[in-house]
Amino acid sequence: MTLLKNHKASGLSYSPARPAWKEKPSPLYSGLKALTVFVVTAYIGLPVLVVFSTSFADNHQILQSGGYVLWPTHPNLDAYRTLFSGNLMVRALAVSAFITVVGTAIALFVTILLAYATSRPVLFGRPVVLAVLFTMLFSAGIIPMYLMIKQLGLIDSLWSLILPGALGGFNFVVMRSFFMNIPAELIESARIDGASDWKILWTMVLPLSKAVTAVVGLFYAVGIWNAFFNALLYLNDTSKWPVQVVLRSYVLQGKSMTADQLGVAVQTQPQSLQMAVVVIALVPILLVYPFLQRHFTKGVITGAVKG
């Protein structure tokens, strides 16, 4: 019994063989369930499919269908070729990649150090933890934040997108609760052998925490990649716009991408071009998603429920 329960609790994706007491669902219920699965999948998937298809479709088909296609008959990469031959998207991608990589590295550095230090009964540890938790409940607000960034001279600087998010309360809690589960004896023995705290963290704790570091890093990376409002608020210089802001102004607000920005005369259908921007903003998430998904359920449950 305990074995069964533990097995079930260990993974949310576990589904048992039908127990003896459970009746086989009638065709009606099976049908209803199948319908739910189908409808939900279509609800989530159809818009994504249309966007992908249109970005790969050829001009002829788009003109014929009046703008959007459900499935490209002659898929090609014209839209992407056009986008990448110009400045606009390449620059936006460079900015996004830069803030994501550097931002994640800095955020991980800050979070790991603070989480590790406070995971031990250490001087000042307790009040610092409470201070972090308080920031999860109460934030200063948009305008004081803006004034602070301005005071620090970070307006129009990419650091304004990186530094304010360098310590996420939720990620801190996840890391800290993981570090707290590392046996104290291990760390004590290293200390007795004369290792400094830096050395313990670097050579013992971090190698043990690869999984949680990866998850927290991915959470940070996804957050920075997706952030849009900070850039809108702090960057007046349009040449520093990350992908999400470009997406907003050229796709949602419908500003047209000029030949000047793209560096070539536009021969692709604007529809297709816009959808290609969407796909470019989406693809990095799709690439990290499998890695993220493997761990997040466990990470989220540890962080949110057990604390």
Partner 1 sequence: MSPTTRQETLEAGTPAAALVPSLERSPDRRTRRRKRTAARNASAHGVPFKVRWRRDWQMVLMMVPGVLVMLLFAYIPILGNVIAFQDYQPYLTIFEAPFVGLQKFVGLFDDPDFLDAFRNTMVLAVTQLVLFFPVPIILALVVDSLSPRRLRNVFQSIVYLPHFLSWVLVITFFQEFLGGAGFINNTLKLMGMGSIPFMTDPATFPLMATLQLVWKDAGWAMIIFLAALSTVDVSLYEAAAADGAGRWRRLWHVTLPALRPVIILLLILRIGDILSVGFEQFILQRDNVGPGAAEVLDTYVYYSGVIGGDWSAGAAAGLAKGVISALLIWGANSLAHKFGEAGLFQKKVG
Q: Restricting to residues 254-283, which ones interact with partner 1 according to CB under 8 A?
A: 275, 278, 281-282
- With b for 16 or more beta-carbon neighbours within 10 A and e for fewer, the 94-115 pattern comes to ebbeebbeebbebbbeebbebb
Provide, rounded to whole angstroms, the least separation between the CB of residue 198 and partner 1. 6
Provide, rounded to whole angstroms, the least separation between the CB of residue 189 and partner 1. 16
The answer to whether the CB of 108 falls within 8 A of the CB of 217 is: yes
Q: What residues numbered 85-124 form the site for partner 1, per CB under 8 A?
A: 109-111, 113-114, 116-118, 120-124
Q: What are the E-state strand segments in the chain?
A: none
Q: What residues numbered 186-225 form the site for partner 1, per CB under 8 A?
A: 196-198, 201, 222, 225
Report the residue from 27, 183, 192, 253 that binds partner 1 according to the rule CB under 8 A.
253
Helix spans in the chain (H):
2-10, 27-56, 59-65, 78-85, 87-118, 125-137, 142-151, 159-162, 169-180, 184-192, 197-200, 206-208, 210-226, 229-234, 243-247, 259-262, 270-301
The reply to whether 12 sits near partner 1 by the rule CB under 8 A is: yes
Q: What residues numbered 27-86 form the site for partner 1, per CB under 8 A?
A: 29, 33, 36-37, 40-41, 43-48, 50-51, 54, 65-68, 70
Report the residue from 71, 202, 229, 291 that binds partner 1 according to the rule CB under 8 A.
229
The whole-angstrom distance between residue 45's C-alpha and the CA centroid of its chain comes to: 19
Nearer to partner 1, 97 or 263 (CB): 97
The reply to whether 239 sits near partner 1 by the rule CB under 8 A is: no
